[in-house]
Structure 1
Amino acid sequence: MPPQSLAGNVPVILLLLLAWVYLTGVPVRAGDVPPLLRIGLDGVAMSADPHRQNSADSRNLAFHVFEPLIMPDLALGTVPWLATEWRPVGERDWVFTLRPNVRFHDGKPLAPEDVAFTFCRLDSNGGSMSGLIAGVERVAARDAGSVQITTQGPNPLLPQLLTMISIIPAPNGWKEPYVPGGCANMAAALTSLGEDRFANGLVPGTGPYRLTAFTSGGPAELARTDGYWGTQPYWEQVRLLPIPGGAARARALVAGDVDIINQVVPESLEFLAGRRDLRVVDSRPLRTLILTPNPIGPLADPAVRRALAMAIDRVSLARRVAQGSAEPAAQLAPVGILGHEPRAAIGFDQINARHILEKSGVSGGRTLRLITVEPFARVAEGIARYLLAVGVTLDIRFVAVGNVLPAMQSLDYDLFLSGWIAFTGELGYTGRELLHSRDPARKTGNQNFVGYSNPEIDRLLSLAAMESDRGKRGLLLGEMAMIASRDMPVIPTIHLARRWAMNAEIRFDGRVDGNTLATLITPASARTQ
């Protein structure tokens, strides 16, 4: 019998490959079709709605499907995206030119009305994302290819704030401008934007992927879209897998169950970094881990909160607990972030800390409940050791990454350890979200769940938000930081780097914002061609 060519069996071979990928989840290597990328994450979004929560896991899913006018770059800068350019017009207006030939997944062209409607929806939703549009007075089409945003006063950081807002399509025929609290016909429009429609992939985005399967807090499946306006990503299919435990993520990577993981924990670092078949990358240490004290109870006194802050040896905590991926956080803003104020630094003084805590009755057998997420377990345990040295015991409990905001709102804790990044490169937005008096009407204090209020901090933040001169803005934010260091509404601990590990056959450059985007992950061979 003569040798038989395989050419006639190509469809069969292709079907076998597809079945193998589907059934086993084995990542695709060179020549396989379609390429599948599996990303192991500490958490996957609780909602597929990009406007539901202002959280890292929510943005990580959203930016595969939906896109902002301006994209954040690797180092907190800005990159033209759905808007190709923007410019201020006078003190209160900005004009954004939309990228031509961009379409939503259903074929609808991107229009200025989509931007206005997105603002209307954010306003009607309220919640943790509304602070991004605080101070915006009107959004409307300027012409067929541009949108004009009017603010209540000068707003120099508007472009940076827009990097966090995913644009969604307006209903057919929508022509209404955005005005705070007054968008017409919103009730009817919102009926087509229920949670189930986002979860089922029925709300189209402009991004390189569409959502094909989603479970709240569970796996998410993405498929590459045809006709994407930008560079097509390499991966035809993407699977986002929640793996809450740091050790479990490392095991999944080593076993080949995933191709890349985020939030590499210190316990796994040496082992993963020592393997030739893996690669580890990290970002600048700009993510600040903060303790939020519940002011109802023994931590109501600022002196007690300062004593807890003084009891923590941040230098040792950063060195021993984070293994080279952190710096001590003597204040809320890392070095290089506008608003960093050397005079606001917190010292390490356990003798005075113990004296204050004993005098207030907090030390000497009292147990405080600390809530955090599993990736911060080692930091929480380090803090517990320092506080134990001054007579305070911590009862550490964990919540799922996707449940952080509800858990913080519950106030069922004495201390909450969470992460925050000044994604605008300045302390202003951070202060407005965490430290400003909570005021839903003004969209301030959206994540100030403990009710802290200081009129002078509010005043300084309001002035800084409208100050166009960067130097003057920095002075205002520095004064705000000084007051925060006295009141201690939040206790900075360390500035932490983001860290990823991946199969050596792929490449990804770590991002300060923590997003693990399939669009930025490529085969290693693609970087060398």
Structure 2
Amino acid sequence: MTPPSLKTALLLGAASFGLAAAQPALAQDLTIAIGGSVTSLDPHFYNASPNNGLGTHFFDRLTELDANAQIKPMLAESWKVIEPTLWEFKLRPGVKWHDGRDFTAEDVAFTIQRAPNVPNSPGGFGAFVRGVKRVEIVDPLTIRFHTAEPYPMLPTDFAQVLVISRHAGEGATTEDYNSGKAVIGTGPYKFSAYTPGSRTRLVRNDAYWGGRPDWANVDYRVISSAPARTAAILSGDVDVIDTVPSSDIPKLEKDGKVQLSSIQGLRLIYASFDRSRTDNPVFVTDNDGKPLATNPFNDLRVRRALSVAINREALAERVMENTAKPAGQWLPPGAYSYNPEVKPLAQDIDGAKKLLAEAGFPQGFKMTLHTPNDRYPNDAKTAQAVAQMWTRVGVQTTVEALPWSAYSMRANRQEFGMRITGWSSSSGEASSALVNIIGTYNPEKRFGASNGSRYSNPELDALTTKAGSTMDDAEREKLLQQAVKMAIDDVALVPLHQLVNTWAVRKGLQHSPRMDERTRAMDLKPAKG
């Protein structure tokens, strides 16, 4: 995978993305079923894949990462560096909002201001606009971004932020988006109806700048139960499902009405420690059930013990049934800034017990491992397997599995001691995780927006910041690789496995799978003829 580089950005920025868009097809309806719950239609409320996937139907970004995480122009036709701390973006002419008004630089400026400032956001988008210190509107289709220091990742960061209109968004609350009132985008589909946790109905935007969409109506459903999703695609009730359960793959492969679509994903499934407390950790006790005086997860030896206790090969092969790869870091091999020196740890039971004893826990302790049960393929099953591995080294672990809608909010309030979750580095490089889930939580600096564990390492933050201001791609990659090693050596998180993204699609439809795992109507084409 090539780096999201300045050179690449400049070359691709001059291309015309709209010309390659799909041409009109016969009016048809499409029904999509996803496993993860959509928690809001506010495009800046929560940086979660289900929300982002749905949001791309209504809203566009300045830049776009394609199915293989390569940067392309979108609402911005081109971009360039004027000075080391000044970027200029030329916006696409003729783009209309769903209500017919013109898209201009004013809307982009408003978006940059709002994205990091949504009230009650459980994990927002501040990290992706943190490089911008000042916005300068040159004319309606030219906008400049001033940065405090050189910032080569700006075009890549903008590929994560959906652009909203000033006229519809000014003063609008998250509830105004959920009601549909403020869902006025430039995207290929318009809002029709939204039932939280259940379904969203979309209608075609015939005036879409990228070409008339293929589907007249899209029914975007949430079916959190994996067996129910499989049953829905087999019965013909839906046209496509995501997060296909590994146990159902053989059955789906044999069904003549269904085809599978897969790609190596960018999502890491990992275990995360609560580091927000120095004493009285939640859901962690001694072997008699009494509170601990100190938080054991603040001891590197404990973190290393829990990491080395895991048999990652077994998780990938048996639990995930070969639909995942053992992980030692958060990017797959071949990605820009993947560190080839950081390998998945081999299980070492004796080594784990020794580390626990050195940390003062020769008999281990008790804890609860929290996990979603409807968000990632085999999430609760993975948690049960990990709990057994930890129990084997003396850390008696029980599992509590929750629906994603409840789990995600509680996790971001530091209500769990140990949890299993996932992160998709949709930018295709290491800084996505370094800034968002590992960087020290600091809203003012727009670091750590999704750092629910409250892990903090100032030395790592400094290295991440240095990499982010290094314009040379090769030098930046070396710094990011150093940061990857530092984070893993400090066991900022416990990598488990990298998912292979798999969809089941009705026979006759053409599907383009995405590394970022988003499920979109735009990636499905009707049968020809």
**C-alpha separation in 2, matches of 1:36 and 1:195:** 28
Note the C-alpha offset of 1:109.
Answer: 0.7
1:437 matches 2:430: no
Determine the structure 1 residue equivalent to 2:303. 305
Partner of 1:68, secondary structure, is coil
1:159 matches 2:139: no
Partner of 1:410, secondary structure, is coil
More helix by share: 1
Determine the structure 2 residue equivalent to 1:89. 82
1:46 matches 2:26: no
- Range with greater deviation from structure 2 (447-456 or 218-227): 447-456
The one-letter code of the counterpart of 2:348 is D
Q: From the CA coordinates, give the structure whose radius of gyration is larger.
A: 1
Note the C-alpha offset of 1:378.
Answer: 2.6
C-alpha distance 117-365 of structure 1, shift in aligned 2 (>3 A): closer
1:216 matches 2:196: yes
1:366 matches 2:360: no
Note the C-alpha offset of 1:139.
Answer: 1.8
Determine the structure 2 residue equivalent to 1:271. 251
Determine the structure 1 residue equivalent to 2:225. 245
Within the candidate set 89, 112, 125, 2:105 is matched to: 112
Contact 1:92–1:150 (CA under 8 A) maintained in structure 2: yes
- Range with greater deviation from structure 2 (43-52 or 406-415): 406-415
- Kindly provide the CA deviation profile for residues 402-440 of structure 1, in whole angstroms up to 9, marking residues without a partner as x: 445412123222221111122222111210111221111
**C-alpha separation in 1, matches of 2:53 and 2:110:** 22
TM-score (norm 1): 0.86
**C-alpha separation in 1, matches of 2:164 and 2:458:** 36
Describe how 1:9-158 pairs up with structure 2 within 5 A: 35-125=28-118, 127=121, 128-158=124-154
**C-alpha separation in 1, matches of 2:55 and 2:362:** 43
**C-alpha separation in 2, matches of 1:470 and 1:395:** 45
Note the C-alpha offset of 1:197.
Answer: 4.4
Partner of 1:53, secondary structure, is coil
Determine the structure 2 residue equivalent to 1:206. 186
- Kindly provide the CA deviation profile for residues 476-527 of structure 1, in whole angstroms up to 9, marking residues without a partner as x: 12222222122212111111111100111212121011111111211232xx
C-alpha distance 33-98 of structure 1, shift in aligned 2 (>3 A): closer
Describe how 1:178-189 pairs up with structure 2 within 5 A: none
Describe how 1:373-392 pairs up with structure 2 within 5 A: 373-374=373-374, 375=376, 376-392=379-395
Note the C-alpha offset of 1:88.
Answer: 1.4
TM-score (norm 2): 0.86
1:481 matches 2:463: no
**C-alpha separation in 2, matches of 1:248 and 1:362:** 45
**C-alpha separation in 2, matches of 1:362 and 1:41:** 44
Partner of 2:115, secondary structure, is helix
Determine the structure 2 residue equivalent to 1:186. none
**C-alpha separation in 2, matches of 1:248 and 1:203:** 30
C-alpha distance 144-449 of structure 1, shift in aligned 2 (>3 A): same
Within the candidate set 387, 397, 400, 1:397 is matched to: 400
Contact 2:437–2:451 (CA under 8 A) maintained in structure 1: yes
Contact 1:212–1:221 (CA under 8 A) maintained in structure 2: yes
**C-alpha separation in 2, matches of 1:281 and 1:201:** 35
Determine the structure 1 residue equivalent to 2:10. none
**C-alpha separation in 1, matches of 2:473 and 2:79:** 19
Determine the structure 1 residue equivalent to 2:496. 493
The one-letter code of the counterpart of 1:158 is L
- Kindly provide the CA deviation profile for residues 228-257 of structure 1, in whole angstroms up to 9, marking residues without a partner as x: 111222111111111111111101111121
Partner of 2:334, secondary structure, is coil
Describe how 1:415-430 pairs up with structure 2 within 5 A: 415-430=418-433
Note the C-alpha offset of 1:461.
Answer: 0.5
**C-alpha separation in 1, matches of 2:258 and 2:106:** 46
Within the candidate set 501, 506, 522, 1:503 is matched to: 506
The one-letter code of the counterpart of 2:525 is T
Contact 2:79–2:89 (CA under 8 A) maintained in structure 1: yes
**C-alpha separation in 2, matches of 1:301 and 1:80:** 46
C-alpha distance 515-197 of structure 1, shift in aligned 2 (>3 A): closer
C-alpha distance 362-77 of structure 1, shift in aligned 2 (>3 A): farther
Determine the structure 2 residue equivalent to 1:324. 322
Contact 1:47–1:199 (CA under 8 A) maintained in structure 2: no
Note the C-alpha offset of 1:464.
Answer: 0.4
Structure 1 stretches of 5 or more lacking a match? 1-31, 173-188
**C-alpha separation in 2, matches of 1:333 and 1:112:** 34
Determine the structure 2 residue equivalent to 1:338. 336
C-alpha distance 364-305 of structure 1, shift in aligned 2 (>3 A): closer
**C-alpha separation in 2, matches of 1:210 and 1:335:** 38
- Kindly provide the CA deviation profile for residues 49-87 of structure 1, in whole angstroms up to 9, marking residues without a partner as x: 111111101111110001101111011111211111111
Determine the structure 2 residue equivalent to 1:453. 456
C-alpha distance 264-299 of structure 1, shift in aligned 2 (>3 A): same
Partner of 1:317, secondary structure, is helix
Percent of pairs identical after alignment?
29
- Range with greater deviation from structure 2 (342-351 or 99-108): 342-351
Determine the structure 2 residue equivalent to 1:464. 467
**C-alpha separation in 2, matches of 1:269 and 1:408:** 31
1:280 matches 2:260: yes
